[in-house]
Amino acid sequence: MPTLLAVPVVRALGSLEVIALEDGSGPFFQPREEAFPTATPEQWRRADAFDPDTVTADGRWWLRFRCYAVRTPGRVLLLDTGIGPADAPAARWAPVPGRLPAELSAAGISPGDVDTVVITHLHTDHVGWSVVGAGTPYFPNAQYLLQRAEQGAVMDINPELSERVLDPLRATGQLRLLDGDTPLARGVTVLSTPGHTPGHQSVLVTGDEEAILVTGDLLVHPLQLLAPEVPYRLEMDPDAARDSRMTRLTELARWPRSALATAHLGPAFTPLP
């Protein structure tokens, strides 16, 4: 029997739509206490109460692997590309194959419709459908946007992705490098959020006095939403990651209505606590 896909979760902001696309879900590869070694029992209790979908009955960290599409009049932007097919680089630890192609289809989006792909950072669970097969960009009409600082750090982040992702995009002329905050469309802005990786970026979508921050891995667990100072073991620069998290969450809180669109938390759209 074929897997039935849920109707995509959509948030409308005036003429914009933000569409949650879940590529898969599964447990983290190590105990969560090792991923957040400074977290206190009270912080764990609060996090589990706030977002019970991120913890299993036996205390493991359960992750969603989400991408988001932003549909504007005449344009489709894709924010991250998930865990990817069965042979994707994330196969060593994530629950591939992902189902992003079917999720896009359910939202009425074909790969050729996407004109912009924002890669928040070069970790394998965020780039999986960017390039497939023997080096074919999955979104043939899209520019792929990456911070210049991220490209410069790829050999420290994951050397495999230089060859598997960046080289094919350079060869087709589809890689575009950004330097800091960059507007993409009316109501859509890339924000520099370094720390998790040197060139990590997030995306702010605004309209009708409402803002949605598509976080990438600016925060990876409800712990870091409720206590932004809590570091994650895989942050390359924990101090910079903390500063980016606290700055962008403070900015988001100034909007009359706001939400986070996260890669790994339980709900597709999470209001600020």
Of 69, 249, 248, 216, the residue nearest 147 (C-alpha): 216
The letter for the amino acid at 238 is P
Reading the chain (273 residues) residue by residue, the pLDDT tens digits are 344 456 789 999 999 999 999 999 999 999 999 999 999 999 999 999 999 999 999 999 999 999 999 999 999 999 999 999 999 999 999 999 999 999 999 999 999 999 999 999 999 999 999 999 999 999 999 999 999 999 999 999 999 999 999 999 999 999 999 999 999 999 999 999 999 999 999 999 999 899 999 999 999 999 999 999 999 999 999 999 999 999 999 999 999 999 999 999 999 999 999
Q: Tell me the C-alpha distance between 149 and 202, whole Å.
A: 14
All structural domains of the chain with their residue ranges: 9-270
At the topology level, CATH places domain 9-270 in: Metallo-beta-lactamase; Chain A (3.60.15)
Q: Tell me the C-alpha distance between 146 and 166, whole Å.
A: 10
This prediction has a pTM of 0.96
